[in-house]
Structure 1
Amino acid sequence: MTTIRQLFIDEAKFGKGTAKGPWFGELPVPRGGDFDFAFISDRTGGAVHKMFEKGLEAAKKLNPDFVVSIGDLVEGYWTDEAEAREEWDRIDPMLAGLGVPVFQTVGNHDYGTEAMIRVWRERKGVDYYAFRYGRTLFLVANTETAPLSLPETMLELMQQANRALIRNPEALFVDLFRDLAGDGFSADVLKMTEDTLIDPHLSGEQIDFFERVLADNADVDWTFVCLHQPAWKKPDPIFERLESLLADRPYTVVSGHVHYLEVTEKRGRQYIQMGKTGGLHCFEGKGDIHHILSVKMRGGVPRFEVILLEGEGGTDTLDAYVKKAAESR
Structure 2
Amino acid sequence: MKNFALVKKLPVIIMVLLLTACGSTVKEPGGSFEHAINTGPYPWTKSTPSYDDDTLRFAVFSDLTGGEREDVFNVAVAQMNLLRPELIVNVGDLIEGSENRGEIDRQWQSFDERAGKADAPVLYTGGNHDLLDGVLREAWEERNGPRYYHVRYRDVLFLIFDTEDHSLERLEEIAQLRLDAIEVANSSGWDAFAKTEYANLPEDETGMISTAQADYMRNAIANHEDVRWTFLLMHKAPWANDDMASWQSVEDALKDRPYTVFHGHRHNYQLETRQGRDYIRLATTGGVFLPDAGLSMDQVVWVTVDDAGAHIANLKMSGILDKTGKRPLNGESLCLDPKDCPAE
When normalised by structure 1's length, the TM-score is 0.73
- The aligned runs of 1:27-46 (5 Å cut-off) are 32-46=53-67
Cα displacement (A) at 1:277: 0.7
Whose radius of gyration is greater, 1 or 2?
2
Pick one of 55, 72, 77 that aligns with 1:51: 72
Q: Where does the alignment leave 5 or more consecutive residues of structure 1 unmatched?
A: 1-30, 162-172, 179-184, 315-329
- RMSD of aligned residue pairs (Cα, Å): 2.6
Contact 1:192 1:282 in 2 (8 A): no
Matches of 2:249 and 2:235, distance apart in 1: 18
Matches of 1:288 and 1:59, distance apart in 2: 20
SS in 2 for 1:270: strand
SS in 1 for 2:85: coil
Sort the Cα spacing of 1:198 and 1:153 in 2 relative to 1 into closer, same or farther, 3 A: closer
Residue by residue over 1:119-175, the C-alpha shift from the partner in whole angstroms, topping out at 9 and shown as x without a partner, is 1111011111101112111111110112374575962795xx8xxxxxxxxxxx96x
Contact 1:253 1:271 in 2 (8 A): yes
Matches of 2:309 and 2:96, distance apart in 1: 35
Aligned amino acid, residue 232 of structure 2: V
Contact 2:206 2:239 in 1 (8 A): no
- The aligned runs of 1:185-224 (5 Å cut-off) are 185=188, 188-191=191-194, 196=201, 197-224=204-231
Sort the Cα spacing of 1:195 and 1:59 in 2 relative to 1 into closer, same or farther, 3 A: farther
Matches of 1:215 and 1:309, distance apart in 2: 37
Matches of 2:288 and 2:195, distance apart in 1: 12
Residue by residue over 1:54-88, the C-alpha shift from the partner in whole angstroms, topping out at 9 and shown as x without a partner, is 22222221100010021001000x22211111111
Matches of 2:308 and 2:214, distance apart in 1: 24
Sort the Cα spacing of 1:244 and 1:123 in 2 relative to 1 into closer, same or farther, 3 A: same
Contact 1:32 1:134 in 2 (8 A): no
Sort the Cα spacing of 1:186 and 1:36 in 2 relative to 1 into closer, same or farther, 3 A: closer
Cα displacement (A) at 1:189: 2.9
Aligned amino acid, residue 41 of structure 1: S
1:143 maps to 2:167: no
Residue identity over aligned pairs, in percent, reads 28
In structure 2, the partner of 1:24 is: none
Structure 1, 143-152 or 288-297: larger mean CA deviation: 143-152
In structure 2, the partner of 1:155 is: 179
In structure 2, the partner of 1:65 is: 86
When normalised by structure 2's length, the TM-score is 0.70
Matches of 2:78 and 2:267, distance apart in 1: 20
SS in 2 for 1:198: helix
SS in 2 for 1:252: strand
Sort the Cα spacing of 1:157 and 1:268 in 2 relative to 1 into closer, same or farther, 3 A: closer
Aligned amino acid, residue 301 of structure 1: G
Cα displacement (A) at 1:97: 2.3
Residue by residue over 1:205-235, the C-alpha shift from the partner in whole angstroms, topping out at 9 and shown as x without a partner, is 1121122211111111111111111222222
Aligned amino acid, residue 292 of structure 1: V
Contact 2:150 2:160 in 1 (8 A): yes
Cα displacement (A) at 1:283: 4.4
Contact 2:155 2:229 in 1 (8 A): yes
- Count, aligned residues: 261
Q: Which structure exhibits the higher relative contact order, with contacts defined as CA atoms closer than 8 Å and separated by 6 or more residues?
A: 1
Q: Where does the alignment leave 5 or more consecutive residues of structure 2 unmatched?
A: 1-51, 322-344
Aligned amino acid, residue 299 of structure 1: D
Cα displacement (A) at 1:285: 5.8
SS in 1 for 2:123: strand
Sort the Cα spacing of 1:195 and 1:224 in 2 relative to 1 into closer, same or farther, 3 A: farther
